[in-house]
Amino acid sequence: MSGLREQAEALLLASCYLPPGFLSAPGQRVGMLAEAARTLEKIGDRRLLHDCQQMLMRLGGGTTVTSS
Going by the DSSP 8-state scheme, the letter that residue 26 receives in this structure is T
pLDDT at 2: 73
Q: Whole-structure pTM over 0.75, yes or no? A: yes
pLDDT at 34: 92
Question: How far, in Å, CA of 58 to CA of 5, rounded?
Answer: 23
What are 17-66's pLDDT values in tens digits?
Answer: 888 888 777 788 889 999 999 999 999 999 999 999 998 888 775 555 55
Residue 68 has pLDDT above 50, yes or no: no
The string over 37-58, giving b where at least 16 C-beta atoms fall within 10 Å of a residue's C-beta and e elsewhere, is bbbbbebebeebbebbbebbee
